[in-house]
Structure formats: structure tokens, C-alpha cells
Structure 1
Amino acid sequence: MRLLLLSDIHANQPALTAVLRDAAVRGFDQVIHLGDALGYGPHPREVLSTLRALNATCLLGNHEQMLLAYADGRRPGASSVVAAALLWQLEELTPAELAWVRTWPDGTDPPGVDARCRHGTPLSLDDYTDSITAARDAFTRWPGRLAFVGHTHLPAVYATLKAPVGEWIKHQALTEGGAYLVPPAARVILNPGSVGQPRDGNPQASYALYDSVRGSFEVVRVPYDVARTQEAILAAGLPPVLAARLAIGK
């Protein structure tokens, strides 16, 4: 089984298109999106249409959670960059598209692969797996061996031994891409990075392929037309900072 792992597209269709073009050459069997397809970007409808055409398993991210809270009147409006994008996207989405987002689960265990998929940590949608301390807490409270998460926008691996959790927690950043072979005596939390808004100083779109037979997790970085997305952000009247940050990967 080869999983195509996407996360944090954030309504950036040019980045998603570039990733899918590259991934098609490498080959995959199943697509999992680890949350935050929406938020920040100018192409919410296009991204949802593409994911649906792929028959992707889409998980709830914190931005989808906030969007649904706005839609249901459970969250007051705010003058933040996050709110500006989500409220604009809410006006753009059709009732059918919004209804589909409502069906997205908060985590899944994909068939054919013994793994946990969730947006933030193996145990949480909102928390971040962004440090040795956070990884140690997740490994202590979660009994599984393999997890895929997003949320940080940073492609990375956290690993520990298949033993009582102690001091041996290792972190490996995959800023420039590359393959990681999961050791047979390890438990790992794997993050493919962000398709549409990388924050590791590399503006190229980030995604991953996981080969369950080889135990290989490969992060791939792909250039895309950043200027096109920036122009669409500004044309939509979204905060200019959302356009500026794409060019520097922050």
C-alpha cells in the first residue's frame, strides 16, 4: 500500500495541482488529507473539488472546525487574519460543499495500514506535535506504533523505541525532503509538512508518500506558481500578509 499523505493545503490550488502532478509520476494507491484543506487561501472550492475527485479520505483540521463553528453561529466573528479568510471562504462555499466538510472525521485508521491519522497529534486535533516534549507526551498516552499528523506545517519525524517511553525520543526535520525508513523496533509520528503554506523556510509545497511494504516515509518538495496564488489572495481582498508569507515559507 502506498499512501499519498497531504496536509494543510489551506485553499492553495496551484500548490495542490503541482503536488498531484508530481505524485502521479511516483504512484500511490490511496489519498489521505490530514486536515486544514481550508483556511488562509483563495481557492476553497477548487481544493474541495479536487480532493473529492481523488476520493480522498479527508480529516477535520482546526480550520475546518472553526469554519463550521462560524457557520453554526457557535463562534463570534473576530478581526484576525484567520477569521478574515474563513468568513470569506464560508461565503464562497455552496451548501453541498459545506455539508461534505461536516462529514469529515476527527481522525481515522486507514484500511490496509496499521496507523493512526489525525490533524494535530495521535490523540488531538488541536495540539501540536512540535517538540521532543510534545512527542514524549503523545508516545506516553498513545499506544500505537505509527501515526501521521499535520498542523505544524513542518515535515518531520519523531521516533521512540517500542518500549516504555523514556528519554530516547529523536526528532528529524525533513525541510529539503528525503526518505526515512521506519526502524522495526521504533514507534514513529510522521508529518508530511504543508502543501499550501509551508513554514520551514522552504516555500516549495510539501507532501509525503508512505510505502507500507518497505516502511518508507518519503517527503517530497515541489515548486509551484507562488505568484499566481499571491495574486488570487489579493484579488479576493484577503489580508496581504497571507500572500507575502508564501514567498518565504513562513
Structure 2
Amino acid sequence: MKIAIISDIHSNIEALHAVLRKIDKEKVDVIVNLGDIVGYNASPDECVTEIRKCEAISVSGNHDSAVHDLTARESFNVFANQAIRWSHFKLSKENKDFLKKLPLLAIVWDRFIACHGTLKSNDSYIVKPFQARRMFNIMRKEYQRINICFFGHTHRQAVWSRDVRGKVKQLKLNENPIHLNPEEMYLINPGSVGQPRQNDWRASFLTFEPEEAKITFYSVPYDLYKAQQKILKAELPSFLAERLAEGV
């Protein structure tokens, strides 16, 4: 079996279409979406419709929550706030209802956990060792049989591991694919489809092959200019268009 893990689409239909084409070429069996389908960019309704159409297993991101929950926007910067307010009026009722019903996390076939930020919040980050350690502790306490959690929110590809002695480290992504040790625990981020922040504008995702205990990262080019022009035409902040090209 081959599973595609995608995250942080953020209303970028051009990037999503490019990723879905690559996923199709890779003969993926199922897609898992780690949240933030909407926000920032200019095609929120189209992106939600596409995710529903491909029947992806999905969890809620903080921007997805903010569409229907004003309090979820309190931590947003001015650009994110403006974009999510704009998105609210562009989404169909059916797509708003879909976002509202998304769970905080999903346990997929008792093999791995899917979440957006952390297991306790879709607006918390895993970027430092103490944050990864906290997540591993929750997994050991509440999900003893599962050793892999896929998460998003940071918009950066990342792999954290915890060995049998309890040592936590962030792996250097020099090798691709990466083979996972079944005796260790992992926190894995596929990066962002629609707004990458690792100094690379290309859309990011990964595939996971459980039987081979293997993940493979992908970076896919897409029609960047078209996505930028849609942002400007919608009169969203020009910074949101500029940052796409810079991958920040």
C-alpha cells in the first residue's frame, strides 16, 4: 500500500492540482490530508471541493476552524485574518459544513495518527526538541500501539525520532527515501502544498509505504504565476502573492 500525506493546501488550487497529478502517477491508494485546506490564497471553495472529490481522510487545521469560529482567528496575523474572512464568503454552505465537521485528529488503520498541529491542538507547533518530546510522551501514554504521527502546520518538511532509550532528535533530510526503524517513534511533516516555507516555492508532500516502513518526500512545480494573479485579483494582501515565489 502507498499513502499520500498532504498538508496546508491553503486555497492554492494550482499547487493542489499539480500534487494530485503527481500522486496519480505514483499510483497512490489513499490520500491523507493534515488540514488547512483554506486560508491565505484565492481558491478556497475549489480546494475543499477537490479534497472532498478525492475522498481524502482529513483532519481540521486552524484555518479550517477559523472559517466558522471567530475565536480561532485571535492568534492570526493581519494577512491571515483578512484572507480567512474573505474565504468565509467564498465557500459554499456544503464546503463550510464539511470543514466544520472535520476531527482534530484521525487514527488511520491503527497504523499512524494524523493531526494538524499537535495531538491536543490544531494551532500548536512542533519546531523544537521540547515540543517533539512532549508529543512523543503523549503518544506513549495515550496511543501505545502507534509509533508514527504525521503533522503539519509549520509548512516545512521534517522528521523527528525517539529511540528506545528516549533520545529525541530531528533527522537531517539528506536521504530520500527515508527508511523508518520499527523500534523507534516518529513525528513526520510532509511540508506544505500551497504555501511552503522552506525557501523552495514548489508544492511539498510525501508518500508513506507501511509495509516497507518507508517515506518519500516530493517537491512539485506548479503554475505559480496563475496562483499569484488570483490573489491580486481578489484584492488580498500582495504580500501573500510575493511570499509564494520566495517559499517563506
The one-letter code of the counterpart of 1:171 is Q
The 10-residue stretch of structure 1 (192-201 or 91-100) with the greater mean CA deviation from structure 2: 91-100
CA 1:173–1:123 in structure 2 vs 1: closer, same or farther (change >3 Å)?
farther
Structure 1 gaps of 5+ residues are: none
What pairs with 1:16-35 in structure 2 (closer than 5 Å)?
16-35=16-35
Q: 1:171 and 1:99 mapped to 2: Cα distance?
A: 37
How far off its partner does 1:29 sit? Answer: 1.1
CA contact (8 A) 2:116 2:152 kept: yes
Q: Percent identity?
A: 31
Q: One-letter code of the match for 1:9?
A: I
Give the C-alpha shift of residue 173 in structure 1: 4.7
> Deviation of residue 22 (structure 1)?
0.9
| One-letter amino acid of the counterpart of residue 170, structure 1 | K
- For 1:140, the equivalent position in structure 2 comes to 137
155, 161, 164: which one aligns with 1:162: 164
For 1:138 and 1:190, the matched residues in 2 are separated by 12
The structure 2 residue matched to 1:217, chosen from 215, 218, 223, is 215
RMSD, aligned CA: 2.0
Which sections of structure 2, spanning at least 5 residues, go unmatched?
141-145
Shift of 1:24: 0.8
* 8 A contact 1:155–1:173 mirrored in 2: no
* 2:52 alignment partner AA: R
Q: Which residue of 2 aligns with 1:65?
A: 65
Question: Aligned equivalents of 1:181 and 1:43: distance in 2?
Answer: 36
Counterpart in the other structure of 2:36: 36
1:121, CA displacement in angstroms?
A: 2.1
* CA spacing shift, 1:178–1:85, aligned 2, 3 Å: same
Match of 1:3? 3
Measured in 2, the distance between the counterparts of 1:75 and 1:109 equals 27
Instruction: Work out the CA distance in 1 between the residues paired with 2:183 and 2:6.
Output: 26
Q: Aligned with 2:177: secondary structure?
A: strand
State the AA in 1 paired with 2:32: I
Is the Cα–Cα contact under 8 Å of residues 182 and 215 in structure 1 kept in the other structure? yes
Q: CA deviation at 1:245?
A: 0.2
The alignment status of 1:172 with 2:171, answered yes or no, reads: yes
**What is aligned with 2:196?**
198
- The TM-score with structure 2 as length reference comes to 0.92
